[in-house]
Amino acid sequence: MNRKQFIKTCGIACLGTSTMSALLQSCVPTQSIMAPISGGNLVIAQSSFLKNEAFLKYLVVRNENLQYPIYVFRFSETNYSALYLRCSHQGNELNAYGDKLVCSAHGSEFSNTGQATSGPATEPLRSFPVQFDNQNILISLKKA
Ligand code: FES
């Protein structure tokens, strides 16, 4: 194998690896749970983020009284974001793909902090304050 063939082979291998990685990441099923509302808070057991002795990056949390689910992203043990999965463009429900939220209606994308990263949406997502008690994550719906 000469130098040109080696570089070509390595380039194809790198492209294949990165493509497969992206495909596999998009195939990971979304972790969705139901959670109760108590005292104006959506109450999520902190243990809900534990799976196979590792922490999940995020959960999609539903309650029958909420029109849209809430995406809860875990940055660290004490730092979470909680975002309403309603597109700020025209109100379609968003889908979570890891740390990215995507609207299937017109293609807008949002970050795990709720900022619009790709249009047509320009406004951020509605977010909720996150607090903690001994064993739970409390998503305050009072400002909602
Ligand atoms: S409703 Fe989400 S991009 Fe239009």
- Dump pLDDT digits (tens) for 44-53: 999 998 888 8
Which pLDDT tens digit goes with each residue over 10-30?
A: 555 544 554 455 445 455 556
Q: Write the CA distances from 98 to 73, 90, 106, 109, 135, integer angstroms.
A: 9, 23, 19, 12, 24
- Counting atoms of ligand 1 from 1, which one is nearest the CA of 119? 3
> How confident is the model at residue 7, as a pLDDT?
58
Residues 6+ apart with CB under 8 A from 41: 131, 138, 139, 140, 141
Task: Give nearest CA residue, ligand 1 atom 1.
Answer: 90
> How confident is the model at residue 71, as a pLDDT?
97
Whole-number Å distance, alpha carbon 110 to ligand 1 midpoint, is 11
Whole-number Å distance, alpha carbon 20 to ligand 1 midpoint, is 28
Whole-number Å distance, alpha carbon 122 to ligand 1 midpoint, is 10
Whole-number Å distance, alpha carbon 120 to ligand 1 midpoint, is 7
- Dig out the tokens for 57 from the structure: 């990056």
> How confident is the model at residue 144, as a pLDDT?
47
Contact residues of ligand 1, CB 6 A cut-off: 87, 89-90, 92, 103, 105-106, 108, 120-121
> How confident is the model at residue 15, as a pLDDT?
47
Give the residues of the chain that fall short of pLDDT 70: 2-4, 6-30, 143-144
- Counting atoms of ligand 1 from 1, which one is nearest the CA of 90? 1
Residues 6+ apart with CB under 8 A from 39: none
